[in-house]
């Protein structure tokens, strides 16, 4: 394989054409080539879930996927969950329940929760626990995180768009400049 490979991906609604080192992971390319630092770098071995993103709607550990494998795919990072109208109901619920403590795990938790609510809009507590089982929180803020996901699902029941990201207004701008620092550090 060549040292560098040209890939084209749609990230948070924006088509990105990037010349990437063949051995670089999707996580490296998102953070270093695209400036999307909301996706966190931690264990790098698929254990913590801090690097979770959606690739064609499936939650993926970006540290375990080569960027070249993502060629042609549609990717959603935590920056893509919000819309021009503001935070998604899921993000809002995380804020309101105080789910973010140090905040480091929150982008991954949000993306995994997004994937869960896209397939199970009204999960039970057990389903939330299972859906987020791959996302570790070193602050042990699991109770508030689970509470937030359940609250977002309940918000959806009341007629808003908790399972957004999949169904709310598509993100049409690169939201790299939108600080995920509202819920997590860079
Ligand atoms: S950094 Fe990818 S799973 Fe931990
Ligand atoms: S809020 Fe600190 S690691 Fe989860």
Closest C-alpha residue for ligand 1 atom 3: 46
- Same domain flag for 150 and 74: no
What separation in Å is there between the alpha carbon of 158 and the centre of ligand 1? 34
- The per-residue pLDDT for range 104-122, each reduced to its tens digit, is 999 999 999 999 999 999 9
Mean pLDDT, range 138-151, rounded to an integer:
97
Q: What CATH number does residue 121 fall under?
A: 1.10.150.120
Cα separation, 59 vs 119, in Å, equals 12
Separation of first and last alpha carbons in the chain: 33
Would the CB of 103 count as within 6 Å of ligand 2?
yes
Where is the domain boundary, 35, 50, 79? 79
- The per-residue pLDDT for range 41-60, each reduced to its tens digit, is 999 999 999 999 999 999 99
What separation in Å is there between the alpha carbon of 160 and the centre of ligand 1? 32
Which pLDDT value is given to residue 2?
78
pTM over 0.95: no
Mean pLDDT, range 129-154, rounded to an integer:
97
Residue 37 inside a domain? The answer is yes
Would the CB of 173 count as within 6 Å of ligand 1?
no
Q: What CATH number does residue 18 fall under?
A: 3.10.20.30
Where is the domain boundary, 60, 79, 98? 79
- The per-residue pLDDT for range 59-72, each reduced to its tens digit, is 999 999 999 999 99
Neighbours of 12 (CB within 10 A): 27
- What is the total count of domains within the chain? 2
Nearest to 156 by CA among 186, 114, 122: 122
């Amino acid at each position: 394989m060549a040292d560098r490979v040209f890939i084209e991906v749609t990230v948070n609604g924006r088509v990105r054409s990037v010349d990437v080192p063949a051995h670089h992971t999707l996580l490296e390319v998102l953070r270093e080539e695209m400036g999307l630092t909301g996706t966190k770098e931690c264990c790098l071995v698929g254990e913590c879930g801090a690097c979770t993103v959606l690739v064609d709607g499936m939650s993926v550990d970006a540290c375990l996927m080569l960027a070249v494998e993502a060629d042609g795919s549609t990717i959603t990072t935590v920056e893509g969950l919000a819309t021009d109208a503001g935070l998604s109901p899921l993000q809002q619920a995380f804020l309101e329940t105080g789910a973010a403590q140090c905040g480091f795990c929150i982008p991954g938790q949000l993306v995994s929760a997004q994937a869960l609510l896209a397939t199970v809009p009204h999960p039970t507590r057990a389903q939330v626990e299972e859906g987020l089982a791959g996302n570790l929180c070193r602050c042990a803020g699991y109770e508030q995180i689970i509470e937030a996901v359940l609250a977002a699902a309940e918000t959806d029941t009341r007629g808003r768009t908790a399972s957004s990201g999949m169904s709310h207004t598509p993100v049409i701008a690169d939201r790299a400049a939108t600080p995920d620092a509202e819920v997590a550090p860079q």
